[in-house]
Amino acid sequence: MSEPQITLYGAYWCPDCRRSKQFLGEHQIPYSWVDIEQDAAAEQLVIEKNNGKRIIPTIVFEDGSFLVEPSNADLAQKLGLKTSAKHSHYPLIVVGGGPAGLTAALYTAREGIDTLVIERAALGGQAAATEKLDNMPGFPDGVAGIEFANRLRQQAERFGVELLQAQDVVKIHSHDNYHVVTTSDGAEYSACALLITTGSRYRRLGAPGESDYIGAGVHFCATCDGPFYKGKKVAVVGGGNSAAEESLLLTKFADHVTILVRGDAFKASQVIQEKVAEDDKIDVRWHTEVDEFVGANAKLNQLKLHNNESGEASTLEVDGAFIFIGLDPNVEFLAETDMRLNSWGFIITGHDLVHDGDRPAGYEAREPAVLETSIPGIFAAGDVRSGSTKQVASAAGEGATAALLVREYLKTV
């Protein structure tokens, strides 16, 4: 394959820019990086190519063509990369290349089990887009999310895991002892066992500026990013248990926390509400919604707000904003299956499948394994699973556990 000359226009805080750089780096494709916040001419070029809009990443190729906010699949197609697996059948296919999936894969590969990992975006999942992981065991000084993801990938490759990137799994189906995944390019791969580790995604407000400052003032995990705000002022958006609980956690670091609730009351438990009310570091603004995230020098410093009852507009000076309005599991490809999901769409596993007596087909004579789904031979781990803690360390732990369960299952088929 010829090596195209590529210029990637973006900004250091932009997660999609980091993903595109990671994708190009993984495939050893040379490119030039231009930070449009340091180069006025480059910023103007981006604006011109996007009909007056400042959209990044904008990636310009040697022939003058360009892609705007491309998915990894778009990049792969443009670059002519091979995105098909070596074989059509594997003992194990892992759907999702985050910490849970890669940990499971390196465990099974070490056991001599041929393992294919299919990932639609950059390997490492949400961890790869996190500025810094400060709560991972073994990293006393923290570790950049992208570095952690690279280490996981390298470790998996060292044990012979086959990694298929830039491919969406669009559906799965099962017959006899086989489970079949179909990718977005129409290819089908079968396996004796499947492990689903597709994770979840944080719900976003969709307000202007929100995406611009992700990782640069806008966050979705107080446990992960709260320590960066020692002695500072932060806002929390949301009115449920997560927003209230995470606000209390943030008071261990921030000097002041302002909770912005669009309704007139919390949906959190009474105990949590009382703790919030008793904390002098926390203020609550009811009927309040975010209209825009504003910053300077590539860092968030202000929220534009409005009161949805009075219509009054206001601003709030902040060092950071934490958004807690829910999570959505990445399970769209399961729509045509009999996979049991909870009321929020997360995959139910283990004893929770049978404790009410309504046993899924295939479990008449045995109990499901702790991470096994309602379809025997299909397992789930990490953030996509009902009951998971939505933390990187626990996702990796579940991946290791799932690998050992898969090993035992494969002995039976």
Kindly state the average pLDDT of the residues 47-51.
92
Please give the sequence-ordered ranges of beta strands (E in DSSP) within 23-168, or none if there are none: 32-35, 58-61, 66-68, 89-95, 115-118, 162-164
pTM > 0.85: no
Which of 79-83, 175-179, 218-222, 290-294 is the most confident on average? Answer: 290-294
User: Assign residue 350 a region: left if phi > 0, alpha if psi is -120 to 50, beta otherwise?
Assistant: left
For residues 340 and 354, give the distance between their C-alpha atoms in angstroms, rounded to a whole number.
11
Q: What is the token pair recorded at 252?
A: 């261990």
Residue 227's pLDDT is what?
A: 87
Q: What is the token pair recorded at 291?
A: 């209209």
Helix (H) or strand (E) holding 237: strand 233-237
Q: Are 21 and 11 in contact (CB under 8 A)?
A: no
- Best CA proximity match to 238, nearest among 225, 216, 224, 219: 219
Q: Is it the case that residue 279 has pLDDT exceeding 50?
A: yes
Helix (H) or strand (E) holding 191: strand 188-196
Q: Are 118 and 166 in contact (CB under 8 A)?
A: no
Kindly state the average pLDDT of the residues 367-372.
97
Kindly state the average pLDDT of the residues 295-309.
93
CB-CB neighbours of 367 under 10 Å: 12
Q: Are 198 and 95 in contact (CB under 8 A)?
A: yes
Residue 388's pLDDT is what?
A: 94
| 320-339 pLDDT, tens digit each | 999 999 889 999 999 999 99
Mean pLDDT of the chain: 91
Residue 95: strand pairing partners: 118, 196
For residues 66 and 127, give the distance between their C-alpha atoms in angstroms, rounded to a whole number.
28
Rg (CA), the chain: 23
For residues 340 and 385, give the distance between their C-alpha atoms in angstroms, rounded to a whole number.
11
Q: Is it the case that residue 94 has pLDDT exceeding 80?
A: yes
